[in-house]
Amino acid sequence: MEKRVVVNKSKLIGLVLGIQIVLTFSLTAFADNPILPSAIIKLPENENAILVEKKSQTLFVYTFKEKNLSIQFQVPCSTGEAFGVKQKSGDKKTPEGIYFLKDEYEKKYLAPIYGQKAFPTDYPNFMDKRAGKNGSAIWIHGTNKKLKPMDSNGCIALENLNIIKLSDYITLNSTPVILVEEIHKADSAARIKQEQEISDLLNQWIKAIENGSYHDYLSFYSSEYLPEISWWEQWLNIRKEASKIGSSMMVSIERTGIYFHNQVFVVLFDYFLSFENKKILLGKRKLFLENKNSSYQIIGDRFQSTPKEFEKIETPLVFAAIPLVKPVVQEDSVITTLTQWLAAWSAKDMEKFAFFYAENFYSDGMNKQKWVQRKQILAKKYNFINVSGRDFKVKLRKETCEVSFFQEYESSGLTTQGTKKLKLVNKGGLWKIYQESWKEK
């Protein structure tokens, strides 16, 4: 016998309205409530931030728009099946910290377990490596099975429909992915104070780059962290040359995001160099900060991404500035390029070594590909390689130059010295070797 359930119409309407009110509040409460996630100090206008709470197995997308931070997207997720913070490869734990998504893979490139789309994170980041953590392949991805809490090998898994929706909120190397055990809140006053203090530090840091001394610049860094500084002398020469022609090099930052986790602030921004009427994007730069004794200090300094022309360059600021000033600085840039080339050769870093050669390189009957392949064979053959140069002589022309210097070469299989001659061409402000010869002493 069929049973009939009678529901009071007014109660049903009230129940539906109540559910709607709760859902509406869950998506807008943070926009009206001064209590906000402590992990998001500042988000650029119209930028999104992904916040994953492992405790509730929930992924949130926050958006900053018209001066309000609000939740735009909220879905269940599945994190690592083992409880705790990832420490090493294979521990099946999800890391905690601030990361960025560096690539996007479509279904046709993925194994079925990753569903219809996947985004690799940049784990392990600078802080993870400093703490001795390892492992890799921490992704946000879909799945080909039923979503269950804490059921991944360390990744963040979503239902396929939700990973497709999430992709609309992602900008590679820009949208932060903040992974936490539990979301903590901070009041607006605390966030405003942190944002102002960090903004002040960034402004002073920029002034040190533009006009300060080596010691001014280093004063912003923790004594426990020494940034790459070999470029400073060349940058100082560039600044002097710019001032001689009545102009100056200006550094600026835009679209700054400030994020916080475990006493560390991560600051990501677009980094620009301006000279007269030219403005050059150097890339997205990322600083790691700590607040010790009421003073912020930089404990890590990295580029999150760079334009293609700067991908293999450690100091985009210098290489972008070189073509803008007088040729005298270009001579310094040639020697700096060759010093880096010799260092890459000595380190047996063949990928970086190859970057210093022009695509039309040809010497000893070999093109660039064959030349680099021969060097790769030698790098694998010898236990060590040490190459150094001195007494550089540079002859500059408009877009090319010739260099000769005394080269000393030592490896586990050969020791020799003599005169090296190179011909280089300027490609977009970067010097590339297109011909090379050697005369043994």
pLDDT tens for residues 190-217?
Answer: 889 999 999 999 999 999 999 999 999 9
| 231 in Cβ contact with 304 (< 8 Å) | no
Can you give the pLDDT at residue 327? 59
Cβ neighbours around 59 below 10 Å, total? 25
pLDDT tens for residues 365-376?
Answer: 999 999 999 999
Can you give the pLDDT at residue 94? 98
Q: Which domains does the chain have, with CATH numbers?
A: 41-184 (2.40.440.10), 187-324 (3.10.450.50), 327-440 (3.10.450.50)
Q: Count of residues for the chain?
A: 441
Regions in the chain scoring below 50 on pLDDT:
1-34
How many Å apart are CA 331 and CA 401, to the nearest integer? 9
pLDDT tens for residues 57-87?
Answer: 999 999 999 888 999 999 999 999 999 999 9
Can you give the pLDDT at residue 328? 55
Can you give the pLDDT at residue 329? 65
Cβ neighbours around 64 below 10 Å, total? 18
Smallest CA-to-CA distance from 434 within 361, 353, 341 is with 361
How many Å apart are CA 195 and CA 258, to the nearest integer? 7
Determine phi and psi for 363, rounding to 5 degrees: -155, 145
Give how far Cα 352 sits from Cα of 40, 173, 313, 341, Å.
Answer: 36, 22, 9, 8
